[in-house]
A and B are shown apart, each in its own frame.
Chain A
């Protein structure tokens, strides 16, 4: 490194230290890399105002920034074009307000999902979402990546749960949008704009959510349809019934029979009636079923473990096209000798894991699978892939209204300093 560059970094470090306190600006290490791109510094602001001031300073200095919560999904998105500064939300970890009788709560972005849930549980409530890696994932991180789990079948996703947001913009503006009440149509819905934006428009400082009561009881039925088509038909049938499951997903893997997993929550007497109705649906189509206490969703977390020559994707198709998608995966994987595993929520959103002998096989498989799923009107977003694969693809695939999205980005972040290169074309 040139001396002038070192000087420059030292100056920045001291200026950032002036905002957040010197102990909260550290030289970055290899552990702070994003997809192999090494940042120079990691700064940990202690308030929303500090986040805004850090952004203004960094913007003026032309630095490229990656916001970071728990770091669990830091590899999602394309490889950064450049990266100078990591802004960590780890010190913004407070639950600011739990208005339990109004069933809302406001929480800082750096609070982990499990710490948030733990606090809400004291009044028998929860954020009705089951994203990945609860113990490390933060509120800001799940919002930026729009992560979701099995509960979405009944309760939707973060866009359906978020009420308000505070966000720091590159020019140092600290802005609020939405509110703290469950119903509000005043002004544009920036909470939805920020959800899933991968930190490319601003850094989320805090958010307000509507909450739901924790369920009294849970019951899970595991059923074993003969084929993926029959599994898909069953899920569509349950969706088309008056049953109200809080989880409905299928799991299928290479050389393994599919399994459908249905969860009900509520009061015991009411659950029994729903189970009975479900059994009748299964028996009418001769599908065997067993009650289980085994919650499949957390059990599937191993699917997201990184390993060599492995590709993990988020897939989305219409609910009735899940079987067609699986068949497409099978068709592609067999000749390439790939291992694969897929879990699909009945609403059509799934996670696909592909494992092969080498990057070339993965790359070939991805290209064809994406083309086939696109034909179905669906989408494939690569969440995790070996760097060699990632550098040759756009993880997002084709997007709608790309020019409009770019204009939105240009207005919020004119210099493209936030996560440059990682999102949909910018």
Chain B
């Protein structure tokens, strides 16, 4: 990167806010998707929204791509740098700016850790509902980019349902307000579009969140089944009975064993475990839990344990939340996949995953948000065995294909990022992708905000407003864009 630009950046963020030495840049070469690595040209760590805006203005002027980054816990490569880019870390914008309990609003900067919001409002009896498993380290800004979910989004919704407004630095350096603390603002719902846009439409520098009153009662049931088929049937039966649990999570045998090994939760020795959490007014929860237990028993549950204390509840959840990391105990390497299927397809798709797993000769552990059909198959492999990583990647992608064929989605909460760009074409036709591109071009005509993510190939914004037009070199067959 040119010395003059580095000097300009340093003038904005200070010398302690600029990283350009190769060994220090290495920290930023990947996010949670560690098999993709690209060195950025520089990293800046602004402290204010104005500094973010000044940095983006330089990017715009010089047409330098930029990649926003929170804690770097994303699993789809959303914060993976692109060559020659400036990574804009929002880690230092970590202030909670305002708390308005009567109106259930909190205003935060993007670098605030998800769990800190809940901790901040807990004394008033509130919590911030989206709870990705990484909530103790991931940032709200990152959650906004990915539209993060979590175990409890079955009942409470995703990040987008909890973001009321944003201050956003657009890729041209303009600062805009989208939505706000007051509901139903006139005009397009650009806040709704911005959430989940994976850093491709700009950088949020201030976010107005909705917080939720903690329910009167929470009850957590652990039910043991002989097969994922039976547990899957119980999930469908619970939901179609008109019960909306706060969470329904499933672990298969492999996940159960790994999680048990990691946290000694005392899980029953079962081939499928279901964790059902109900919350709400005490009388309602008590009545509904009786029905849930009856449904589980009908579907073949041979042991059901209702957590008797907050401590017991915490242990049950600890195992579930530790399940991904616990795979390290039973496999040297693993791929975390994220796909969605209609709930009713659960038993069938799980069987098909089993067949794929057997055919590939690799184990697949399943631990997932069963209530909303959001699968997280973990493909276990050993990188040191030649060719096995490739087989594992192939298997992970074949599982995604199953999800699409079942009428589902290639991602429920981890995002498309770099990892699944090519898979967008499995789910969407060209006209669908072209239409999304119209939004992109309205926000970022120069294509500098996290370019080469989400969409299957770099798409250019044509001179006249509208469609993708192939570059003359492309048309002439001289260059191919992938």
Contact of B427 among A179, A320, A410 (CB under 8 A): A179
Is A249 in contact with chain B by the CB < 8 A criterion? no
The answer to whether A193 and B193 have CB atoms under 8 Å apart is: yes
Is B28 in contact with chain A by the CB < 8 A criterion? no
Which residues of chain B are near A124, meaning CB under 8 Å? Answer: 242
Is B381 in contact with chain A by the CB < 8 A criterion? no
**Bound Cα distance from A173 to B434, whole angstroms:** 9
Q: List 12 A-B contacts (CB under 8 A).
A: A102-B343, A160-B161, A175-B432, A175-B434, A184-B408, A187-B416, A193-B188, A195-B192, A242-B214, A273-B282, A411-B442, A424-B186
Given contacts A185-B196, A405-B188, contact A348 B183 (CB under 8 A): yes
The answer to whether A173 and B431 have CB atoms under 8 Å apart is: yes
Given contacts A175-B431, A189-B193, contact A180 B342 (CB under 8 A): yes
Looking at A21-29, A296-304, A376-384, the stretch in contact with chain B turns out to be A376-384
**Bound Cα distance from A159 to B416, whole angstroms:** 22
Is A318 in contact with chain B by the CB < 8 A criterion? yes
The answer to whether A377 and B180 have CB atoms under 8 Å apart is: yes
- A119-162 vs B, Cβ < 8 Å mask (1 yes, 0 no): 00000100000000000000000000010100000001101100
The answer to whether A179 and B408 have CB atoms under 8 Å apart is: yes
The answer to whether A379 and B431 have CB atoms under 8 Å apart is: no
Is A37 in contact with chain B by the CB < 8 A criterion? no
Which residues of chain A are near B147, meaning CB under 8 Å? Answer: 185, 189
Is A196 in contact with chain B by the CB < 8 A criterion? yes
Given contacts A188-B193, A239-B104, A401-B176, contact A349 B184 (CB under 8 A): yes
Give B residues with C-beta under 8 Å from A.
100-105, 125, 146-147, 149, 153, 157-158, 160-161, 170, 174, 176-190, 192-193, 195-197, 213-216, 236, 239-240, 242, 244, 280-284, 287-288, 340-344, 369, 372-374, 407-416, 420, 424, 427-429, 431-436, 438-443, 454, 464-467
Which residues of chain B are near A318, meaning CB under 8 Å? Answer: 100, 103, 105, 181-182
The answer to whether A269 and B287 have CB atoms under 8 Å apart is: yes
Contact of A188 among B180, B372, B427, B436 (CB under 8 A): B436
Which residues of chain B are near A187, meaning CB under 8 Å? Answer: 416, 424, 427-428, 432-433, 436, 454
The answer to whether B189 and A193 have CB atoms under 8 Å apart is: yes
**Bound Cα distance from A320 to B181, whole angstroms:** 12
- By Cβ-Cβ distance, the 6 closest A-B pairs, closest first, are A192-B192, A213-B242, A270-B284, A242-B216, A175-B435, A273-B283
Interface residues of A in 306-357 (CB under 8 A from B): 314, 316-320, 347-349
**Bound Cα distance from A183 to B147, whole angstroms:** 10
The answer to whether B188 and A197 have CB atoms under 8 Å apart is: yes
Q: Output the least CB separation between B335 and chain A (Å).
A: 18
**Bound Cα distance from A334 to B408, whole angstroms:** 57
Given contacts A179-B409, A184-B412, A188-B439, contact A399 B186 (CB under 8 A): yes
Which residues of chain A are near B439, meaning CB under 8 Å? Answer: 188, 190, 193, 408, 411
Which residues of chain B are near A160, meaning CB under 8 Å? Answer: 157, 161
Is A95 in contact with chain B by the CB < 8 A criterion? no
The answer to whether B157 and A273 have CB atoms under 8 Å apart is: no
Is A364 in contact with chain B by the CB < 8 A criterion? no
**Bound Cα distance from A190 to B432, whole angstroms:** 10
From B146, B373, B466, name the one whose CB has the most chain A CB atoms within 10 angstroms. Answer: B466
The answer to whether B412 and A400 have CB atoms under 8 Å apart is: no
Interface residues of A in 260-306 (CB under 8 A from B): 266-267, 269-270, 272-274, 277
Given contacts A101-B236, A396-B187, contact A183 B413 (CB under 8 A): yes
Q: Output the least CB separation between A114 and chain B (Å).
A: 21
The answer to whether A184 and B409 have CB atoms under 8 Å apart is: yes
Which residues of chain B are near A396, meaning CB under 8 Å? Answer: 186-187
**Bound Cα distance from A214 to B407, whole angstroms:** 25
**Bound Cα distance from A242 to B126, whole angstroms:** 10
Given contacts A186-B410, A404-B190, 11 further A-B contacts (CB under 8 A): A169-B435, A181-B340, A181-B341, A197-B188, A212-B244, A240-B213, A349-B183, A399-B185, A400-B176, A400-B185, A404-B443
The answer to whether A189 and B160 have CB atoms under 8 Å apart is: yes
**Bound Cα distance from A213 to B149, whole angstroms:** 22
Q: Output the least CB separation between A155 and chain B (Å).
A: 10
**Bound Cα distance from A102 to B345, whole angstroms:** 9
Q: Output the least CB separation between A50 and chain B (Å).
A: 16
Q: Output the least CB separation between A394 and chain B (Å).
A: 10
The answer to whether B188 and A408 have CB atoms under 8 Å apart is: yes
Is A103 in contact with chain B by the CB < 8 A criterion? yes
Is A182 in contact with chain B by the CB < 8 A criterion? yes
The answer to whether A239 and B213 have CB atoms under 8 Å apart is: yes
From A99, A189, A347, name the one whose CB has the most chain B CB atoms within 10 angstroms. Answer: A189
Which residues of chain A are near B146, meaning CB under 8 Å? Answer: 185
Nearest chain B residue, comparing its CB with the CB of A237: B102
Which residues of chain A are near B284, meaning CB under 8 Å? Answer: 266-267, 270, 273-274
**Bound Cα distance from A190 to B194, whole angstroms:** 10
**Bound Cα distance from A201 to B103, whole angstroms:** 33
Q: Output the least CB separation between A359 and chain B (Å).
A: 22
Which residues of chain A are near B429, meaning CB under 8 Å? Answer: 176
**Bound Cα distance from A121 to B120, whole angstroms:** 42
Given contacts A99-B344, A273-B282, contact A193 B192 (CB under 8 A): yes
Q: Output the least CB separation between B439 and chain A (Å).
A: 5
Nearest chain B residue, comparing its CB with the CB of A399: B187
**Bound Cα distance from A192 to B436, whole angstroms:** 12
The answer to whether A404 and B413 have CB atoms under 8 Å apart is: no
Which residues of chain B are near A101, meaning CB under 8 Å? Answer: 236, 240, 343-344
Contact of A183 among B103, B197, B215, B373 (CB under 8 A): B373
Which residues of chain B are near A184, meaning CB under 8 Å? Answer: 340, 408-409, 411-412
Q: Output the least CB separation between A271 and chain B (Å).
A: 8
Nearest chain B residue, comparing its CB with the CB of A152: B183
Which residues of chain B are near A201, meaning CB under 8 Å? Answer: 188
Which residues of chain B are near A180, meaning CB under 8 Å? Answer: 342, 407-408
Q: Output the least CB separation between A199 and chain B (Å).
A: 12
Is A243 in contact with chain B by the CB < 8 A criterion? yes
Contact of A159 among B174, B192, B436 (CB under 8 A): B192
**Bound Cα distance from A182 to B435, whole angstroms:** 22
The answer to whether B188 and A397 have CB atoms under 8 Å apart is: no
The answer to whether A244 and B236 have CB atoms under 8 Å apart is: no
**Bound Cα distance from A372 to B215, whole angstroms:** 36
**Bound Cα distance from A173 to B100, whole angstroms:** 44
Q: Output the least CB separation between A347 and chain B (Å).
A: 6
Q: Output the least CB separation between A324 and chain B (Å).
A: 13
Given contacts A317-B182, A396-B187, A408-B188, contact A244 B103 (CB under 8 A): no
Interface residues of A in 162-184 (CB under 8 A from B): 167, 169, 171, 173-177, 179-184
Q: Output the least CB separation between B288 and chain A (Å).
A: 8
Which residues of chain A are near B182, meaning CB under 8 Å? Answer: 316-318, 348, 377-379
The answer to whether B436 and A182 have CB atoms under 8 Å apart is: no
Which residues of chain B are near A182, meaning CB under 8 Å? Answer: 340, 372-373
**Bound Cα distance from A284 to B321, whole angstroms:** 42
The answer to whether A242 and B213 have CB atoms under 8 Å apart is: yes
Which residues of chain A are near B178, meaning CB under 8 Å? Answer: 400-401
The answer to whether A100 and B192 have CB atoms under 8 Å apart is: no
Which residues of chain A are near B428, meaning CB under 8 Å? Answer: 176-177, 186-187
Q: Output the least CB separation between B163 and chain A (Å).
A: 11
Is A8 in contact with chain B by the CB < 8 A criterion? no
Nearest chain A residue, comparing its CB with the CB of B153: A183
The answer to whether A103 and B442 have CB atoms under 8 Å apart is: no
From A124, A179, A241, name the one whose CB has the most chain B CB atoms within 10 angstroms. Answer: A179
Nearest chain A residue, comparing its CB with the CB of B126: A240
Nearest chain A residue, comparing its CB with the CB of B454: A187
Q: Output the least CB separation between A246 and chain B (Å).
A: 12
Is A414 in contact with chain B by the CB < 8 A criterion? yes
